[in-house]
Amino acid sequence: MTVGAGPTITSEITWLLHRAAQHMHVVTGLQAEKHGLQLRDHIILSAIHKTPGLTQVELAKTVSLDKTTLMSQLDRLERNGLILRRPDPHDRRVRIPEMTAAGEDIRARVAADSRVAEQDALRSFSGTDIESFRRMLIGMIGDSADPGSCL
């Protein structure tokens, strides 16, 4: 576990991963804030965009948030007119979070800016380096499924 630039405290790779993930969160969070969103808002909107039709419980699991925590986030997004909860005609228990046109508009803009910011953070590495980097990340995750919540 490295602090600053020193050698190992516990597990150097784990600590570096943590630092790098934190750094990228800050970077993409800044892009979201430029459009008046929090990083979490963008993560939620992105999940809805990627996999529409999920229930609130399924959405919570997808983004690794507690269901009650997700509720307050959805409340705020709904208040701001970025999503709405559509009742499912086939199951009156469920409310499907759905993006409004305004929500999709902001989501797309933040996504574009985030993509640029990410590529900027990786600009000093070659395409093959990035590809093997990606493969290693996937390999590390692959073993287990449950993410846990840290957002």
Partner DNA sequence: CTCAGATGATCTGATCTCATACGATCAGGT
Partner DNA sequence: ACCTGATCGTATGAGATCAGATCATCTGAG
| DSSP structure class, residue 71 | H
CB-nearer residue toward DNA: 2 or 55? 55
Measured CA to CA, the distance from residue 126 to residue 148 in angstroms comes to 32
If one asks whether residue 140 binds a copy of itself (CB under 8 A), the answer comes out as yes
Phi-psi region of 65 (alpha: psi -120 to 50; beta: other; left: phi over 0): beta
Distances (CA, A) of 148 to 31, 54, 79, 93, 121: 25, 19, 28, 26, 26
Q: Least Å distance between CB 94 and DNA? A: 4
| Contact letters for a copy of itself, residues 99-138 (x by CB under 8 A) | -----------xx--xx-xx--xx-xx---xx-xxx-xxx
Going through 18-106 in order, the beta strands assigned E by DSSP cover 83-88, 91-99
Measured CA to CA, the distance from residue 142 to residue 136 in angstroms comes to 10
| Contact letters for a copy of itself, residues 43-82 (x by CB under 8 A) | x--xx-xxx----------xxx------------------
The residue ranges that bind a copy of itself (CB under 8 A) are 1, 3-4, 6, 8-14, 16-28, 42-43, 46-47, 49-51, 62-64, 110-111, 114-115, 117-118, 121-122, 124-125, 129-130, 132-134, 136-141, 143-144, 146-148, 150-151
